[in-house]
Structures are given as structure tokens and as C-alpha cells.
Amino acid sequence: MNLNAEDFQAIALTLQLASVTTVLLLLLATPVAWWLAHTCSNWRAPVASLVALPLVLPPTVLGFYLLVALGPNGPIGQFTQWAGWGTLAFSFWGLVLGSVVYSLPFAVQPLVHAFEAMGPRPMEVAVTLRASKWDAFFTVAVPLAKPGFVMAAMLSFAHTVGEFGVVLMIGGNIPDKTRVVSTQIYGHVEAMEYSQAHGLAGVMLVFSFVVLLGLSWFSRRQKVSA
Amino acid sequence: MNLHLQLDMARTDFDVSVDVQLPAHGISVIYGPSGCGKTTLLRCVAGLEPSARGRVQVGHEVWQDDDPNGGKGVRLPTHQRAVGYVFQEASLLAHLDVAGNLAYGLQRSRNHVSDTVLQQAIELLGIGHLLKRRSHELSGGERQRVAIARALVTQPRLLLLDEPLAALDHARRQEVLPWLEKLRDDLNIPMLYVTHAVDEVARLADTLVVMNAGRIQANGPVSEVLTQAELPVMLGEDAGALLTGIVLHIDAQWHLAQVGFAGGALWVRDSGLHVGQTVRLRVLARDVSVTLHEATHTSIQNHVPCVVDAITPDAHPSQTVLRLRCGDTVLLARVTARGVHELGLHVGMPAWAQVKSVALVK
């Protein structure tokens, strides 16, 4: 394997992006998943479909809309300029935003399943034992849904590492700023640097396999203990 | 000092609508067929049903008092109501062991004074040896005992038990029932106990509330309600009277004990009773027949003089339920309508109740 400095930069940036995205996603997905698992509202189906959209949309479509929204005339771009942050397109935080949207279903769905599998009873038990709703959420719902949180975190991280289309559309493939492993491989192949592409592609292959292996081992262990 | 429950709640099948005053001591059993709204009523008392409207008062504490005109009213969230709730199925928090489950409520109850409360509950329910176990390492009966102890350590003003034995097999029920009786006798906490099993009514109830299709059909002291006009018909084979009496005499040779009650005495199997002990007897209507004169030359040991108090047609046209008054006590007899006709029985007529079998319920 002959990885150069740029390759290592791309790997570091990818890990940074995936970590930040995973943390933000868990914070965002938890209330969304809780609402989806408990609501009887007519808005449930539309919101669930909206959250699942990134699963079926081509990443280029998602990337295109995000690019427009983040641009100087887009709603998000207008807001970020007003707030004094400039525009997010072709920046790290633009990539974070894109990754959060793109990986949202991978964080929300395991959490919805975990909350639904738990049922209403543990929360009812907790409130009859004098716990307020918030107290009960953190001391009963979160520990009981732990497998769901682990699953959500692993899937969000892996899926963010593996994204390509959205990154290319809103990131612009700028070295050290927005160039992640997947776009770096693309660059190597474009430049006919096959041996470098092999090195990075191999890293991705091993990483993805290990994550999936870990997930399957984890879910098996959960089943055995349950 | 009593409980006042006035609650209305719309459901898809029927509306639950109750207004009842209950004594603030002993066990009030809420009895009725499955799906009649018993559990819903209990959940409303605990504040687990957000759409329920009405009033819940426990002693001097008002937990809920909705303004019928849509004003603010009073509505304490569940965690501010001093209830203990025992759910129908095992509901231990799976991520905690038994000690953790007990501590969960103890840490959050208003006066988290004492280890004594915890020790009492552990001793009362006999779960000291289970503290380090997780929910899946307990039997069904043990889980329910832990759930009851967990409810007790929050020092509730009112204990709500929702068919706590329904998910258990016969042997496990027999294992938990004595603990419930102990609870009633040792603690001064009023309990609302939901069940559709008549044997639990007979064994545990001080007050009986009969529910059907969301309404309360009868309520009062258990022995009175059980012998009121309509209930025997509804209970079918389970219809019977409950008597409270005192052991008067032990016949050691034949292993029998004589139990005296207001209006007579009955011989029952001696299961280790002692003279002076208070016992509760259950006499099923199908085990009682009527004669005009005290029968002789019969194997039946129990004959009680009585007066016919009421004659009610039963569900099947061939059958009749007789209410027989023996002093201050009421017995029920299920006999054929033809038998009533042939004996010429009518209300106010003296007769003899022949009791073939008596069950000791505690």
C-alpha cells in the first residue's frame, strides 16, 4: 500500500466528518424517532416518508437541492450569511449538513424500532414510581433502547464514511477541506493512479466489512441476552 | 376518609362512566368480565389516561378535579400521585436487578427517609434472597412479588393492582395469594384490586365493585353485594355467599371444625384451625338445597334454619336462585323452578337450608 499525504488527509477528514455527523445525528434522530414511535398524529406517515427519502433518492438529487439551498440565494445560504458565517457550500460544515440529511434514516429507523419494541409499559412503570417524564426517559427509555442507539451510531458512521454523491455535489472535492476518501479514490481513478486507488479502496473495503461484522455480532448478542 | 372516583372516558367500544365512593381501608375488588373497563378505571385513577375527565380524591388529597366548563381544574401528573401500581404482567425494569427496581421508586418517593421502608417491603414479600437477580432470572410469581414490593417502597396512599395474578398459572397464584392477604392484614393502605376471577373476590375482597360495559352495577360490602338480586344470575356457577364466622368447636375424631356465624353454624373440614379463629367461608349456590323440615337420614351434615327472602329466575328457565336469610346472614341456593313449585316456596316462608359443601377461603 502506498498511501500519500493527501490520502491520509482524506482519511482523517472522513473520520472527522463521520464522527461529527454521528453525534449530531443521534441528538437530532432521538426526538424524531421518539415522536414517530409514539404519535397517533396524521403527520406521522408524511414525516416518516420524509425522513426515509434519502434511502431512495439519488444522492445527486439530494446534493443538488442542498447546493441550491446552501448557495448565496438559497434559504440556508441567506440565513448563514445573515448570521455572519458566509455560505456553507464547499465547506466542511456544508458537508456535515449534507451528511446529516443523507444518513438521517440510518439513525432514525433503528431508534424507532428500539422505542417501539420497548412498548409504553416501562415508561408507565417509571412514572408510577414517581419519575417525571424526562427523568423516566433518561433513566428507563435510554438504557432500554441502548442496542438501538449503538446500531444507529454504527450505521450513521459507516454510511457517512461511504457517501460519495452528496459530497461531490456540495463539497467540491477541495483538498484538506472537503476531499474525503470516496472522492479521493474518484480522483485517483480519473488520474489513472490505479495503485493508489487500490490502497484507499482496500481500506474502505476492510472498514465496511468490519463494521458489518460488528453489527451482526452485536445484534446476535442482543438476541441471545433477550 | 375515603376514596371518591368520578370519571368519564370515551372508548371506541363504549364509554367508561363511574361515580363511586369507596372506603379508604381494606381491599376494594373491582370485578367484571374481561374488557368491561376495569383496567381503564384503574389507569384513570393513576393518571395514565390523558383523555379521562372527572374527579379523583384520595382521603383529603385531590389528584384530579376537572372543571366541567373547560377551566383549569386540578390534574396531577402520574408521578405526583402517591399511587403504587402493580401491572398485570411482569413489569420489572429489565435493565435493573431486583434491588435496582426497588431503589428506583425509593429514591424518587417524597420522603425517601428510610431503609426501614425498604426492609419492611422486602420482608413482607419475602424477596430478600432475590435482590441481585434480573427479571428474566425470576419466576412469574417472584416477579409479581417484587413488583408489589417496588410499589410499596414509594409509600403509596393507594395501591392499585391490575389482575396481578392473571398471568400466572394455578400453582403460582397460590404462591402469591397469601402475600396479598398478608398485605391487606399488615398494612394500612387501601387497595383497588381488579380481577375477573371469583375466587380472588372471595378470598381478598372487603368491598366489591361490580362493573359491566363501563358502568358500575353494584358496590358495597362483599357479602352483601354477592347475594344481591342480579349478581348470582350473572355469576352462574360461581354464584355463592361469603360468610365470616368464628371457629366454635373442633371435632378431633372426624377432623371437622364447627364455624359459628350470625344466624347459625356450619361444619367444615378442619385444616388446622383453632377455636376462636375468625374465618371466611364460601358457600356456592349450587351446593345448597332446601327442605321444609330438618332432614334426617341424610349424609349431609349441615342444616341451617332460614327464611326465604327472595326468589329470582336464573339465566336458564329451569333454574331459580333463592335468597335465604339465616339470622343476619344470607345464603344463596340454586334449585329447579319445579322444586320451588312442588314445595310451594314463597317469600317469607321458613325452611331449612341443606349445605352439601363449604369452602374455607382463609
pLDDT of residue B215: 92
**Dihedrals phi, psi of B190, to nearest 5 degrees:** -65, 145
User: Given this model, what pLDDT does residue B40 score?
Assistant: 94
Buried b (16+ CB within 10 A) or exposed e, B19-47: ebebebebbbbbbbeeebbbbbbbbbbbb
> What pLDDT was estimated at residue A1?
62
* pLDDT reported for residue B33: 86
Question: Could you confirm whether domain B235-360 is CATH 2.60.60.20?
Answer: no
Q: Which CATH class is domain B2-233?
A: alpha beta
Q: Per residue of chain A (226 residues), what is the pLDDT tens digit?
A: 678 888 999 999 999 999 999 999 999 999 999 999 999 999 999 999 999 999 999 999 999 999 999 988 999 999 999 988 888 888 899 999 999 999 999 999 999 999 999 999 999 999 999 999 999 999 999 999 999 999 999 999 999 999 998 988 888 788 888 889 999 999 999 999 999 999 999 999 999 999 999 989 988 888 766 5
Rounded alpha-carbon distances, angstroms, from residue A75 to A62, A72, A83: 15, 8, 12
* Cβ pair B150:A129 closer than 8 A: yes
The DSSP output letter for B305 is E
Cell numbers representing residue A155 in the block: 450505521
Tell me the average pLDDT of chain B: 90
Mean pLDDT, to the nearest integer, of B197-216? 90
Rounded Cα distance between A34 and A113, Å, is 10
The answer to whether the beta carbons of residues A144 and A194 sit under 8 Å apart is no
Could you give the angle at which helices A92-118 and A44-56 cross, rounded to 10 degrees?
A: 130
Q: In the sheet that B350-355 helps form, which strands lie side by side, from edge to edge?
A: B288-291, B350-355, B302-313, B319-326, B329-336
Q: How far apart are CA A226 and CA B172, in angstroms?
A: 23
B78-92, B174-188, B347-361: segment of lowest average pLDDT: B174-188
pLDDT band at B114 (very low <50, low <70, confident <90, very high): low
CB contact under 8 A, A124 and B48: yes
Alpha-carbon distances of A164 from A152, A192, B153, rounded to whole Å: 20, 19, 56
Q: Is residue B84 a contact partner of residue B158, using CB atoms and an 8 Å limit?
A: yes
Q: Which residues of A touch B85 (CB under 8 A)?
A: 124-125, 128
Give the pLDDT confidence score for residue B175 in this predicted structure.
83
Strand arrangement of the beta sheet that strand B16-23 belongs to: B16-23, B2-9, B53-58, B61-65, B74-75
Q: State yes or no: pLDDT of B42 exceeds 90.
A: yes
Q: Answer whether residue B232 shows pLDDT above 80.
A: no
What's residue A128's pLDDT?
A: 96
Q: Does A176 touch chain B (CB under 8 A)?
A: no
Q: Which pLDDT score is estimated for A219?
A: 84
Q: How far apart are CA B242 and CA B29, in angstroms?
A: 14
Is A139 in CB contact (< 8 Å) with chain B?
A: yes
B137 CA: distance to closest CA in chain A (Å): 12
pLDDT value of position B111:
63
pLDDT surpasses 90 at B77: yes
Question: A129–B154: do the CB atoms touch at under 8 Å?
Answer: yes
Superfamily of domain A5-34+57-112+146-221: MetI-like (1.10.3720.10)
Asked whether residue B362 carries a pLDDT value surpassing 80, the answer given is no
Domain spans of chain A, in order of start: 5-34+57-112+146-221
Q: What is the mean pLDDT of residues B252-265?
A: 92
Q: From CA B24, how far away is CA B189, in angstroms rounded?
A: 8
ipTM of the complex: 0.83
- Is the confidence at residue B161, as pLDDT, over 60? yes
SS3 B26: coil
Q: Cα–Cα distance between B344 and B322 in angstroms, integer?
A: 13
For the residues of A17-30, what is the DSSP string, one character each? HHHHHHHHHHHHHH
Q: Which residue of B has its CA nearest to A131?
A: B79
Whether A125 sits inside 8 A of B48 (CB atoms) is no
**pLDDT at res. A225:** 66
A-interface mutation test, from B78, B83, B154, most A Cβ less than 10 A away: B78
Q: What is the pLDDT of residue B229?
A: 63
Q: Is the pLDDT of residue B115 over 80?
A: no
Q: Above 70 in pLDDT, residue B110?
A: no
Nearest to B108 among A131, A143, A144 (CB): A131
Q: Do A140 and B93 touch (CB under 8 A)?
A: yes
Nearest to B134 by CA among B126, B125, B143, B122: B143
pLDDT at A4: 86
Q: How far is B240 from chain A (nearest CA, A)?
A: 36
SS3 content of chain A, % helix, strand, coil (to 5): 80, 0, 20
The pLDDT of residue B71 is 77
Q: What is the pLDDT of residues B279-295, one digit of tens each?
A: 999 999 999 999 999 88
For the entire predicted model, the pTM comes to 0.85
Judge: B78–A121 Cβ closer than 8 Å, yes or no: no
- In chain B, where the domains are located: 2-233, 235-360
pLDDT at res. A226: 57
Q: Which of A38, A128, A139 to mutate to test the interface with B (most CBs of B within 10 A)?
A: A128
Task: Reduce the DSSP state of residue A210 to 3 states and report it.
Answer: helix
